Each structure stands twice: as structure tokens, then as C-alpha cells.
Chains A and B, each alone.
Chain A
């Protein structure tokens, strides 16, 4: 119950944030602009709309997760509003989980609005619904939750600016993970390969959660790929949240 109450407070706080509306408006404008872009194209019109829509959801979702996520805990500490909360019988773990769920809910609403915009435009253009995009949107949402957990983790021990830099770096490394592994296999020595392999297991391979290309082209995924990818993303999410809770419990808030 306490987690839900904190989550609802975090959600209310996030929806009051103007950054959220700017990013959402920008994403919807990006998705809407695809209707102009397709007029310039010869062939591949539906693909352009879907690619642009999924990219807008991903890009804006990452910005929301990072820039709102890094402020969730640190702002409470800076404004000293965390003290009355923790003075009540609220465990620090419940505080972290509540904050995570609040931003998760905010992201869910945003992703749903952007996905509805994308599906609506694709429906008008193709004359049919595109349910094949839904698994891609679902895994994008998991990726955003994972980044939110990372942003909260970093914000428990460092400044908001550094947390944002670390989270964005995690996104870049996570998206590059597969390529790094391939480069290491091709060009690296044994030590480099081992180091890169260790790094790719320590950090999430976010490319595994990015199935937009396959969804847009209607390519078959391996049997049970989406549930496995969901579990994969959730495993890292749990690890990041657990680390955030441990670090936050040890933090001296005096």
C-alpha cells in the first residue's frame, strides 16, 4: 500500500513536470511528421511511418526515463521533502520501489499515447491495424523501465548531472553491446574477448529488446523470443533496483 501511495505521488509529480509534456508533444509531432515524409517517398511509405514512430517512442521515452528518473530521489533529498516521508513507518526500499513504479506508470501512459498515435497513422495509411508492432512497443517499454531503474540507481549515490550521463552511457553501451562483442570476436585477443564478454553480461544488451526492425518487416522471431526478452529485461531491472535499494539504505541522509 505504501509503495502504491508513493508511486501515485511520484506519478502526480511527474505529470506536473513541463518537460514531460514538451517531450510528449515533440514525439507526437515526430510521429505526425511521418505523414509529410511519406509524400516525399516512392515505396516503403508504411515502413517509414512505423520506423519513425518506433524511433520517436524510443528516443522520447529514453529522455523521459533519464531526465525525470535522475531527479526522482535526488530532488526529494535536495528539497528535504524525503525526511517527513522516511520519518513515517516507510522503509527505504518501499520509497525506491514507489518512485520507480510512479515513473513506470508515467512512462506507461506516455508510451501508450505515442503508440496509439503511431497505430492510428499506420491504420489510416495501410487501411488495417498493425498489431505486429505491439511486441516491439512492449519490449521498448521494458527497455525504458530498465533505464529508469538505472537512473534511480545512479541517483542514489551521485549528482543528477552525473546520473544522467551514466544512464545515457548505459543506453549507448547497451545498444552497442552486440556490435562490441562482434568486434572483439573478430579483432580482439583472448583477454579482450574475455573482458568484452564479461562486460556484455554485466550490462544489459539493449539491442535484444529492440525488435522494431523485425516487427516492421513482419519477420518471424524465434519461438518464445518475446517472453524470454521480457524475462531478460526484468532480470536486469530487478538487479538495478536491488542495487539502488542497498545503496540507498546505506546512504547517510543527515
Chain B
């Protein structure tokens, strides 16, 4: 490097070093326009958007899916209101009707948001678009069993899942219990345990673990269990 290039190099270094503080200063002074991950998004209609994407609609579905996750995360930490959640999940699944994870997790998010009719609509939309995937009728049955306590509906959807390839080995056992109308808490525990063991996702794992602990506490406080414990205790 010659002496002549020193001013140029110094200018470059100064420019590079100034980027971060300048960015922070601008961020602090920027007008608050109500944006951010928690903002209610303006959603286009999938039927209009899809042709405009020229075949890149699966990528758009992925980007809207990331937006959905940001939206859920932001509202879980603040007001726990999820007004736009159904619209987001519906848009993602309309742009890519075979995105099974979006139906599964989108449905789960809607269940957490206590938007059960919307969750059922998403699961049923997924079942119609992916009739060979056991996961969706299984998840819908789980929602009816665990959250809505509508055991007839749960049975109906688990029977659908039971006919599909790849269904889990424990499903016939749960169906048998439902037929016998016994062991609701044990089945609930088994459902959450299955979710805990099969998911790769840490957030879903933690949710399943919390629910397992709740069901376990209910199981321990059952009169028959308590009586047994009292008999055994001196």
C-alpha cells in the first residue's frame, strides 16, 4: 500500500465503521408507524395474488409462513390476540395447498388462540387438499378430543386417520378407548406424549411438555389415585 492510498483506505474504514451507529441513530429517531411483527397485516386475496407470482407462489407461501410465525410470536408476548392469524394461515395454505406443516402448526396456533371453528376449517381444508396425509385428520381429532371434548367428532376423524398410510401405531389403541368411552385422561396424556416424542420443533416440544405435566397433575389428583396413595401411606 502506498501513502497515496491511505486517505482512501481511511475514508473506507470510517464509512464502514459509521454504518452501525448511524443505523441505530436513525432507528431511534424514526417515526412510529405501528409496524413491526405484531402489526395487523393487510392480506391480499390468494386468488388474485397467485397468478401474479408467475409460478413463484410456493416461495411466497414460505415468506407468508415466516410472517405468520413472527405474528404469533409477537402476540404471544403481548396481548395474546390473534385477529389476523386465520387470514395468514388461510393465505399460506391457499398459495401452497400441499404445505402440510402450515396446516398442522397453523391449526395448532389457532387452537392456542382458542379460535376452534377456524382451526377446524384449516384442518378440513388441509384434509381435502391432502387426502392421503394421516397427520391432518389425526390433529383435527386431537383438537376435538383435548380442547372441545367432542368425542364423537374425535372418533370420526381418528377413524379417517386410521385408514391412511403411515398412521401411528398408538392410534388404534386410542380409538378403542374412545369406543369404550373410558380413559380420557390417559388418552390425553398419550396424545401429548406422542406430540412431544415426534416433533423436531423445540416450541412444540415445550408446549406438549407443559400439557403433559397438566394432565399428569390431573391424573394424580383423581379420587381413585388419591385413595390408593392414602391406603399405601402409613
A-B contact pairs, 24 of them (CB 8 A): A37-B66, A40-B70, A41-B65, A41-B66, A41-B69, A42-B69, A42-B105, A44-B62, A44-B101, A47-B99, A47-B101, A48-B62, A52-B59, A55-B56, A171-B54, A175-B55, A206-B55, A207-B55, A212-B58, A213-B57, A213-B58, A213-B96, A217-B99, A219-B98
User: How many angstroms from the CA of A206 to the CA of B54 in the assembled complex?
Assistant: 10
A166 to nearest B CB, angstroms? 16
Chain A residues closer than 8 Å to B96, beta-carbon distance: 213
Contact B69–A47 (Cβ < 8 Å): no
User: How many angstroms from the CA of A51 to the CA of B51 in the assembled complex?
Assistant: 17
Contact A44–B98 (Cβ < 8 Å): no
A176 contacts partner chain B, Cβ-Cβ < 8 Å: yes
- A213 and B98 contact, Cβ closer than 8 Å, known pairs A52-B59, A175-B54, A206-B55: yes
A128 to nearest B CB, angstroms? 15
Contact B98–A43 (Cβ < 8 Å): no
Chain A residues closer than 8 Å to B198, beta-carbon distance: none
User: How many angstroms from the CA of A181 to the CA of B126 in the assembled complex?
Assistant: 26
Chain B residues closer than 8 Å to A175, beta-carbon distance: 54-55
Besides the contacts A42-B204, A44-B62, A58-B55, what 13 more A-B pairs have beta carbons closer than 8 Å? Answer: A37-B66, A41-B65, A41-B66, A47-B62, A47-B101, A48-B62, A51-B58, A51-B61, A59-B56, A179-B51, A207-B55, A213-B57, A216-B58
Total number of residue pairs linking A and B with CB closer than 8 Å: 65
Chain B interface size, as a band, is 20 to 34
DSSP class of A's interface residues: helix, strand, loop or mixed?
Answer: helix
User: How many angstroms from the CA of A41 to the CA of B70 in the assembled complex?
Assistant: 9
Chain A interface size, as a band, is 20 to 34
Question: Per-residue CB proximity of A159-186 to B under 8 Å, as 1/0?
Answer: 0000000000001100110010000000
Which single residue of chain B is at the shortest CB-CB distance from A172?
Answer: B54
Kindly identify which residue among B50, B54, B59, B102 contacts A43, using a CB–CB cutoff of 8 Å.
B102
**Which of B59, B98, B101 has the largest count of A CB atoms less than 10 A from its CB?**
B59
Which residues of B line the A interface, CB within 8 A? 50-51, 54-59, 61-62, 65-66, 69-70, 96, 98-99, 101-102, 104-105, 201, 203-204
Chain A residues closer than 8 Å to B70, beta-carbon distance: 40
Contact B54–A176 (Cβ < 8 Å): yes
Contact A217–B98 (Cβ < 8 Å): yes
Kindly identify which residue among B51, B59, B69 contacts A55, using a CB–CB cutoff of 8 Å.
B59
A148 contacts partner chain B, Cβ-Cβ < 8 Å: no
Chain B residues closer than 8 Å to A156, beta-carbon distance: none
User: How many angstroms from the CA of A219 to the CA of B58 in the assembled complex?
Assistant: 14
Contact B99–A44 (Cβ < 8 Å): yes
User: How many angstroms from the CA of A243 to the CA of B226 in the assembled complex?
Assistant: 87
**Which of A37, A41, A44, A207 has the largest count of B CB atoms less than 10 A from its CB?**
A44
A210 contacts partner chain B, Cβ-Cβ < 8 Å: yes
Contact A40–B66 (Cβ < 8 Å): yes
User: How many angstroms from the CA of A207 to the CA of B50 in the assembled complex?
Assistant: 13
B49 to nearest A CB, angstroms? 12
Chain B residues closer than 8 Å to A59, beta-carbon distance: 56
B136 to nearest A CB, angstroms? 13
**Which of A43, A51, A219 has the largest count of B CB atoms less than 10 A from its CB?**
A43
Contact B203–A42 (Cβ < 8 Å): yes
B15 to nearest A CB, angstroms? 22
Chain B residues closer than 8 Å to A171, beta-carbon distance: 54
In the complex, chain A residues 49-69 whose Cβ is within 8 Å of any chain B Cβ: 51-52, 55, 58-59
User: How many angstroms from the CA of A179 to the CA of B96 in the assembled complex?
Assistant: 16
User: How many angstroms from the CA of A42 to the CA of B104 in the assembled complex?
Assistant: 11
User: How many angstroms from the CA of A41 to the CA of B99 in the assembled complex?
Assistant: 13
Chain B residues closer than 8 Å to A37, beta-carbon distance: 62, 66
User: How many angstroms from the CA of A41 to the CA of B62 in the assembled complex?
Assistant: 9
A241 to nearest B CB, angstroms? 24
In the complex, chain A residues 109-124 whose Cβ is within 8 Å of any chain B Cβ: none
B75 to nearest A CB, angstroms? 14
Contact B65–A44 (Cβ < 8 Å): yes
Chain A residues closer than 8 Å to B69, beta-carbon distance: 40-42
List the 3 closest A-B pairs by CB distance, nearest first.
A43-B101, A179-B51, A44-B101
Chain B residues closer than 8 Å to A210, beta-carbon distance: 55
Question: Per-residue CB proximity of A215-238 to B under 8 Å, as 1/0?
Answer: 011010000000000000000000
Kindly identify which residue among A40, A43, A172 contacts B105, using a CB–CB cutoff of 8 Å.
A43
Which single residue of chain A is at the shortest CB-CB distance from B103?
Answer: A43
Chain B residues closer than 8 Å to A216, beta-carbon distance: 58
